A and B are shown apart, each in its own frame.
Chain A
Amino acid sequence: MASPALAIYAFLYLYPSISNLLYSTTRWDGVTKPIQIGLRNFTYLLTNDDLFMKVLGNNFRFTLIVVIFQTSLALMFATFLVKNTKMTIFLRTLYFFPTILSSVSVGLIWNFLYDPNFGFINASLKFFGLDALAKNWLADPKLALYAIAVTQIWFHTGQMVIIYVAGLQQIPSDLYEAAQVDGASRWQQFKSVTWPMALPTTAVVVAYTTIQTFRAFDLVYSMAQPASLNGSDLLVNLVYNSAFVGYKFGYAAAQSIYLVILVLLVTWLQRRVLKNKTED
């Protein structure tokens, strides 16, 4: 019964993963015969490749911004929407809506919002007399990454709100009643009840968001502009470009191996930190 799944998985996941490791030790344009060069791709990436370092930095900043802001927003909205009323259920459903769209659609819609001439964002800023704040968001090397991070947060906050609401609804209500008896303010209740009790949910949300940002490709692919000088490129975009624009297949494979190592390392670190916290 296990054989169809195992066969496809072995053929299109395990076998390619091993080929990827082998490719990463070659210089190869995808057409002619690969040349074995040992670990030179890996050392070159770390010592000589400014673009790789830049994109690595981009990816870390992107992940950090999205994890911090998306998680805080989701937790905040979830505490506002934890009770089940008609209004809160409606708002949760509305907030969740962007999640069902494709990232290409989301990217293209935000291209319009960010458009320097006709875009809704600049038009609104000018309407309120804030002309100085109107920018060419996606073409500015300093702003592009943050602009795309905002889109990512808009895209997935609603999904995380739902996960948090499910977690917060598990917190026994007598904990809040006891805190109210002690005269705790809303903020104190949040600090002493909600936050510690929601830590396991936070672990899930943070882990999922991290993985999501390390696999991100579509938004940048549909939004990035040449004028931003790779300012918003993320790791998967770099791997894609190295292989299918630059025809450096071995090099792209090595970049993707670094991506794996990074994802595993970050996941492992997060598990450790959150495990220590929940055990305190």
Chain B
Amino acid sequence: MLYKVIRSSLLTAFALAVIVPTSIVILGTFKTDLEIYTKPLALPKSFNLDNFRTLFADGQMIVPFRNSVIVSVFSVFFTLLFASMVSFAIARSITITGKVMLGLFTLGLAIPGQINIVPIFTLFVKLNLNNSLFGLILVNIALTLPISVFIITAFFKDLPKEMFESAGLDGANHWRIYRSIALPLARPAVGATGIFLFVITWNDLLYPLMLINEASKKTLPLVLIDFRGEFATSYSMLFTAIIVASIPMIVMYVVAQKSFIAGLTAGAVKG
């Protein structure tokens, strides 16, 4: 009995800890600053979209939204493509090369990519890759390859070897086996990794902050940070911008909770 009471009160407390701030933000998008300050949890006077209108009126959210979509989609696509190819090569390799390659990528797991901000910044300035979405995509691919290779290689190694061998006897080359057998089989692992990568790249701050300062190239997290200074006290605009920046993630989460959770935990466990 006592256990049940303690259990439900603790569970409720943490549920409220998530629900209350989330509600303040969502309700805040329909409120004025004054309403947010005085009654953060009350229902808004009216559910109008004025804040959204103001936010989109000067177009300052549209470009960064587009930039974030471009950077995330291309980063994730190419990371998955390259990672699945190299993982296939590692998993099928019977020589030392496979082990060495896996070792190289494991090194990247142990040492976080954040340590290389100085050399990547100087390299990118030299190559004129700063202030470029292409440069950001390149960095994202390099930084997320280790974890992706790790997850997908583990998946390929668990597949029965005979499946590939019989295809090899039928005369299919590596490419054919990769494309028509390995990749379709790996869909769950690749899908889960893709969701994990999408969340990381969509939300990334450090590298965009360092590499991008032209307004036309900014991604959403950079614009949110700018809001802090620009609208120093305007939480209504800030909350609206946060909702706009989070909508793709929230929609994906509501539609595909299971694969979302699986993806984000696979990244954690394997990492």
* B114 with A236: CB separation less than 8 A: yes
Q: Once the chains are docked, how many angstroms separate the CA of A23 from the CA of B123?
A: 12
Shortest Cβ distance from residue A157 to the other chain B in the assembled complex, whole angstroms: 7
Q: Once the chains are docked, how many angstroms separate the CA of A9 from the CA of B235?
A: 41
* A260 with B119: CB separation less than 8 A: no
B225, CB-defined interface residue at 8 Å: yes
Query: Which residue of A has the minimal Cβ distance to B123?
Result: A16
Contact of B142 among A12, A158, A259 (CB under 8 A): A12
Query: Which residue of B has the minimal Cβ distance to A11?
Result: B142
Q: A9-B104, A100-B249, A221-B205 are in contact. Are A166 and B265 (CB under 8 A)?
A: yes
* A8 with B89: CB separation less than 8 A: no
Q: A100-B199, A104-B225, A159-B268 are in contact. Are A239 and B88 (CB under 8 A)?
A: no
Shortest Cβ distance from residue B205 to the other chain A in the assembled complex, whole angstroms: 4
B156, CB-defined interface residue at 8 Å: no
* B110 with A163: CB separation less than 8 A: no
Q: Which residues of A contact B261 (CB under 8 A)?
A: 92-93, 96, 162
Q: A16-B123, A76-B10, A104-B205 are in contact. Are A8 and B142 (CB under 8 A)?
A: yes
Q: Which residues of B contact A186 (CB under 8 A)?
A: 3
* B37 with A118: CB separation less than 8 A: yes
Q: How many residues of A contact B (CB 8 A)?
A: 80
B17, CB-defined interface residue at 8 Å: yes
Contact of A214 among B112, B138, B206, B257 (CB under 8 A): B112
Decide if the interface of chain B is mainly helix, strand, loop or mixed: helix
Shortest Cβ distance from residue B51 to the other chain A in the assembled complex, whole angstroms: 15
Q: How many residues of B contact A (CB 8 A)?
A: 86
Q: Once the chains are docked, how many angstroms separate the CA of A17 from the CA of B85?
A: 24
B40, CB-defined interface residue at 8 Å: yes
6 A-B residue pairs with CB within 8 Å: A5-B83, A9-B146, A95-B18, A104-B221, A112-B238, A159-B264
**The 6 residue pairs across chains A and B that have the minimum distance between CB atoms:** A102-B203, A12-B142, A16-B119, A5-B86, A19-B119, A5-B82
**Which A residues contact B (CB, under 8 angstroms)?**
1-2, 4-6, 8-9, 11-17, 19-20, 23, 30, 73, 76-77, 80-81, 91-105, 108-113, 118, 120, 123, 154, 157-160, 162-163, 166, 186, 204, 208, 211, 214-215, 217-218, 221-222, 236, 239-240, 243-244, 249, 252-253, 256-257, 259-260, 263-264, 267
**Which B residues contact A (CB, under 8 angstroms)?**
3, 7, 10-11, 14-15, 17-22, 24-25, 36-37, 40-41, 81-83, 85-86, 88-90, 101, 104-105, 108, 110-123, 138-139, 141-143, 145-146, 149, 174-175, 178, 199, 202-203, 205-206, 209-210, 220-221, 224-225, 227-228, 235, 238-239, 242, 245-246, 249-250, 252-253, 257, 260-261, 264-265, 268-269, 271
